Amino acid sequence: MKFITINFDDVLTEIFRSTAPTYMGVVLKRLMLMASEKIAKSMDIDALLTGESVAQVSSQTLRNLAIIDQASSMLILRPLSTMNKPDIMDIADSIGTRHFAESMPEYCGVISQNPIIHGSFKRIEKVAKCFDYEVLDKAVEEAKSIYVHEVVDNINELAPMEVVQNLEGENQVVIDIRAEDVCIETSCECIKIPFHQLKIEFKKLPQDKEYLLYCEKGIMSQLHGQYLRDSQGCENIRVYRPLV
């Protein structure tokens, strides 16, 4: 069995460029289905399966699910669709996956700003035409594949990012990577680079500084810090989690 991942960073950047904030969540789910369909067809897989449950979040209303499903011609199975959240959590507890689910960063939560809950079929047609699908095609082409039994070994090779709780040095710079147009107040220099721009913008920064990535929970900071360290060899990155 293979575990296949698709890096959606550039796709998210294109969503922010082309899509109205209220439709970002729905568009993201449509693009995830389109990417999944491309992978499935290349592997002769006949159906897609998701963990969506009706009406738990804005993109999972009946209308929005119908709009999302339009993006794919494949059969989409949703075994949790009619279940209540407490029941789903009980199952996650029993099979040992709840811890992973609670600590996993979700792009769909990050970009949801006043999300539409009853989308328009006509509006989504216009929104979809504004997106550059070459970005999605490129992301799918660069998909990473690993056998499931190798996943644990692969994860163990990734050292966790160091977490800093107190700002001490003049050489430190906090980077607020939240999508919202706000910046945390700190005792040292703080700059704003939304997570979806970090891969490109970080290269432009002076590399003689120590950069501390900040987000509300620290999970997105860990994820993007590890990416910069592993893909670009950046060793001057930490995660900033101030004491409350």
User: Catalytic residues, which ones?
Assistant: 215
pTM of the model: 0.76
For the sheet with 237-240, list strands across it: 163-164, 237-240, 210-214, 172-176, 189-192
Domain 2-156 of CATH type 3.40.50.2300: no
- CA torsion, ordered 219, 231, 138, 116, to nearest 10 deg: 20
**Residue 29: its pLDDT value, please?**
94
Q: Are 220 and 195 in contact (CB under 8 A)?
A: yes
Buried b (16+ CB within 10 A) or exposed e, 31-67: bbbebbbbbbeeeeeeebebebbeeebbbbbeebbeb
- Note the pLDDT tens digit of each residue in 89-126: 999 999 988 877 776 766 665 666 688 889 999 999 99
Share of the chain above pLDDT 70, in %: 92
Return the pLDDT at 159.
64
d(CA 142, CA 43): 16
What is the third-level CATH fold of 163-240? Oxidized Rhodanese; domain 1 (3.40.250)
Question: What pLDDT does residue 110 have?
Answer: 60
Q: Give domain limits for the chain.
A: 2-156, 163-240
At 155, the pLDDT band (50, 70, 90 cuts) reads: low
In this structure, what token pair is assigned to residue 3? 């575990």
